Structure 1
Amino acid sequence: MVCQEHCPTPEKAIIFREGEFITGEKKIKRVKYPYVKEDLCIGCGICVTKCPVEGTAGIFITGEGEERFEEQEF
Structure 2
Amino acid sequence: MEPEWLTPRQVADLTGYAPKTLSNWRHMTPQKGPKCFKVNGQYRYLRDDVREWMKRQVKGCPATCQTYCGNCTQ
> Please, what TM-score do these two structures have when normalized by structure 2?
0.24
- Give the strand-richer structure, 1 or 2: 1
Higher helix share: 2
Bigger RCO of structures 1 and 2 (CA < 8 A, at least 6 apart): 1
